[in-house]
Chains A and B, each alone.
Chain A
């Protein structure tokens, strides 16, 4: 019963639309109606009532004239509830105000990510994989409403129009709302095929419909996992092993049990959980535990030592990820070889909502409330751990207070922890696992630490003739259910993406990889933009170094090598143009100004950013402005795309300035926002976002804003000071070098 992506059957779009058509009961799994503590979208808590019309699993039209779109994807801030609803409402010709959104339950048969053949949210795929599927869902419902009206009014369907949620027949003056037609529409046969709109007729796609979650999130009414309350529920706080791989040898829980209100103390695989009616009591109990740890298989590595080992490894060839020509031979022939080493620390996701999970375990199975990002994987993992069938594991997807990848854990780590606790108390009452900020920061599953070594040679005109890019680090995918899909011939595609896909025309271009999972035992995971978090940096900083060595303008230098990559070139030119590239920056009395650029493709979207800085005499600097250009195909919601670019820039800037998780003798040295500092409002630059007009299929926007920021910033600092920073975070390197 091990979950493997390829084993999860995917129902075809057509088959699905037919198969579930007209089944009013199919939308929300039974038993979920009691999930709610609160109103508002984000919880799949409502259910069908008589007369509701549900032509497929993605929408339901109520007799109250409401249109409820069921989102198969997690809303974690990226705006997907709004985006998916836009697609459905566009083809349905609904009035935006009548549209509501709720989260889908776990059901890979119906709610699969069409790019993965399993249900889950990530890789900036939500809109890309749903674009046609959601539009068809809306168009199908529209056709059925029209058929119902045609039958009622005894007029040809071709004479009926639909606009803003109203179905009309102009000649007879008849009109009806969706709600008035829902009962009749439910009895109409599902059309075999539907015609989608010509993009020129779009009224919602491309028009920045307001976010569907703004009101709930502005009034404190949105329901996150942390807000779920169930009758009798206990809160669990866990004392985790201080080192990865550590286990409990013995525990003295007398003092913990003596805390008034503590109900249970249970030992689980990697720690001891204390349960109480409220968090504070459980935390007091947890803090009173005296635990002796079994560290016989605990990991004792240190960041410095890992980096030193990687540096040695980088001297030897790794597994080949890309081989155009022969870079080594070309380098051997070259008069001068340019060489640089780039270093990247472990990074925590540090979402605002520390990890948590609510679970109810009983004879029928297990029910979970979670900011659920990897439904199918979590469902199978829980089923295995609890000796249940996958269909006995019900997952209720609620809003996630950020994720940046962390809630899509291929090992289902915090869900399995919750299951162990629920099992230990024999499902007596529902359990809410709550990690403290410190638990979250020290709980692992970081962006891996990497070291890159890049060497290049230039031809007589200063253009690169050889480029040898070596990457050393842990594989995120190895040992996960995604391995069959993403690891080929020992190469984890996510370790090299962005480097193996370098767009520049260089005749001898080699990329190789050392994977270090055999020796480095730090739990690692994808972090907003995954491989591009590091490959985008080394590539775009090094190309800037080569431009400088050749005495060429960084934008012109890149463009000269992008003839076959018009979308890279397009965003690069647009960002440069809007930033006033080539015109001098306004001087500052406070210090030296500088401007830097980077362009990168990730998740099939293309982003270029120009960063402007002021470097003060003491080496402190401010990031003044970022001009961003993005080409993500059809812009379904331009304002959400802008927001994702703004946010991606902020998230990337935090990491570039000071983001680092460091290990010393296996202990994580950071604990909270005092020593893992993140961006604050006073550090946020002005951001300008320009979207390329495109008719191409929509691609990702959640992650692609991240990769260009750090290299563009470092390139700007170089322009201002002549100093080149190659190790992240930047920290105080300008002061000390």
Chain B
């Protein structure tokens, strides 16, 4: 039994301590928003925040997050930045299949929380760990800029 704090609530998960946080969320806590894509920290679909840091839940064992604060897509809109990111995603109709978008939004929110006005290079650095096979990258970039209150394209 491992106890952690998910989206502001202390929860106990009855799974082996080596179970990745991804599967603890999905199979242990029945929270489906965080997605399984690669299992090797290569695609970013499973991105959550652990103590505010964007973290790949598929390679993070439950034991490593005991007592820590985990935020998932289900609650990212509780923060002002997360809400703005989700709104920009909706305004620009970013999604296609949508399977990667929870992870994209978690990474984008972590970026803007730390860097409120990111450059294109900042966006590349923060977002290049999140694969989208539908190729929604053009709109992801635009949505991040919109959420940051910046013009759609870099003037440079």
Interface of A with B (CB < 8 Å)? 37-38, 76-79, 210-211, 213-224, 226-227, 229, 235, 260, 277-281, 350-354, 399-404, 434, 436-437, 639-640, 643, 646-651, 653-654, 672-674, 678-682, 684, 686-687
Q: Is the CB of A226 within 8 A of B36?
A: yes
Q: Is the CB of A214 within 8 A of B93?
A: yes
Known: A215-B90, A220-B102, A437-B39. A681 touches B137 (CB 8 A): yes
Q: Is the CB of B35 within 8 A of A353?
A: yes
Max chain B CB contacts within 10 Å: which of A404, A639, A640, A672? A672
Q: Is the CB of B136 within 8 A of A437?
A: no
Is the C-beta of B55 less than 8 angstroms from some C-beta in chain A?
Answer: no
Q: Is the CB of A647 within 8 A of B40?
A: no
Known: A77-B97, A219-B86, A681-B130. A647 touches B43 (CB 8 A): no
A278 partner residues in chain B, CB cutoff 8 A: 15, 19, 23, 27-28
CA distance A674 to B101 in the complex (A): 20
A281 partner residues in chain B, CB cutoff 8 A: 15-16, 19
A207 to B: closest C-beta gap in Å: 13
In chain B, positions 54-87 with a C-beta closer than 8 Å to chain A are 72-74, 77, 86
CA distance A436 to B124 in the complex (A): 27
Q: Is the CB of A235 within 8 A of B27?
A: yes
Is the C-beta of B38 less than 8 angstroms from some C-beta in chain A?
Answer: yes
Chain B, Cβ-Cβ closest to A277: B27
CA distance A38 to B105 in the complex (A): 20
A210 to B: closest C-beta gap in Å: 6
B83 to A: closest C-beta gap in Å: 11
- From B42, B132, B133, contact of A674 by CB (8 A): B42
Is the C-beta of B117 less than 8 angstroms from some C-beta in chain A?
Answer: no
Q: Is the CB of A38 within 8 A of B136?
A: no
The 18 listed contacts between A and B (C-beta, < 8 Å) are A38-B32, A78-B96, A214-B95, A219-B77, A260-B16, A279-B27, A350-B133, A352-B43, A352-B99, A352-B134, A401-B98, A402-B99, A646-B135, A649-B135, A650-B137, A672-B39, A673-B131, A678-B133
Q: Is the CB of A681 within 8 A of B97?
A: no
B94 partner residues in chain A, CB cutoff 8 A: 214, 218
- From A354, A400, A654, A682, contact of B97 by CB (8 A): A400
Q: Which size class do B's interface residues fall under?
A: 35 or more
- From A79, A223, A280, contact of B23 by CB (8 A): A280
A524 to B: closest C-beta gap in Å: 20
CA distance A679 to B43 in the complex (A): 11
Interface of B with A (CB < 8 Å)? 15-16, 19-20, 23, 26-28, 30, 32-40, 42-43, 45, 72-74, 77, 86, 89-90, 93-102, 105, 123-124, 127-141
Q: Is the CB of B93 within 8 A of A643?
A: yes
Chain B, Cβ-Cβ closest to A648: B135
Q: Is the CB of B15 within 8 A of A280?
A: yes
Chain B, Cβ-Cβ closest to A402: B97
Main secondary structure of the interface of A (DSSP, over half): loop
A350 partner residues in chain B, CB cutoff 8 A: 133
A399 partner residues in chain B, CB cutoff 8 A: 97-98
Main secondary structure of the interface of B (DSSP, over half): loop
Q: Is the CB of A76 within 8 A of B97?
A: yes
Instruction: For the A-B complex with A211-B93, A643-B93, A684-B138 known, give 20 more contacts whose Cβ atoms are closer than 8 Å.
Output: A79-B96, A211-B95, A217-B98, A217-B101, A218-B90, A235-B27, A278-B23, A279-B26, A280-B20, A281-B16, A399-B97, A401-B100, A651-B133, A672-B38, A673-B131, A679-B135, A680-B129, A681-B141, A682-B124, A687-B138
CA distance A220 to B20 in the complex (A): 19
A681 partner residues in chain B, CB cutoff 8 A: 123-124, 127-128, 130, 132, 137, 140-141
A518 to B: closest C-beta gap in Å: 33
Q: Is the CB of A679 within 8 A of B34?
A: no
B140 partner residues in chain A, CB cutoff 8 A: 681
Q: Is the CB of A214 within 8 A of B32?
A: no
- From B34, B90, B102, B135, contact of A684 by CB (8 A): B135
Max chain B CB contacts within 10 Å: which of A221, A229, A352, A647? A352
Chain A, Cβ-Cβ closest to B18: A280
Chain A, Cβ-Cβ closest to B130: A681
A680 partner residues in chain B, CB cutoff 8 A: 128-129, 131, 137
A223 partner residues in chain B, CB cutoff 8 A: 32
Q: Is the CB of A646 within 8 A of B37?
A: no
Known: A218-B95, A647-B135, A681-B137. A673 touches B101 (CB 8 A): no
A654 partner residues in chain B, CB cutoff 8 A: 133
Q: Is the CB of A222 within 8 A of B139?
A: no
Q: Is the CB of A402 within 8 A of B134?
A: yes
Max chain A CB contacts within 10 Å: which of B37, B72, B96, B140? B96
Chain B, Cβ-Cβ closest to A350: B133
A678 partner residues in chain B, CB cutoff 8 A: 131, 133
A376 to B: closest C-beta gap in Å: 23
CA distance A682 to B120 in the complex (A): 9
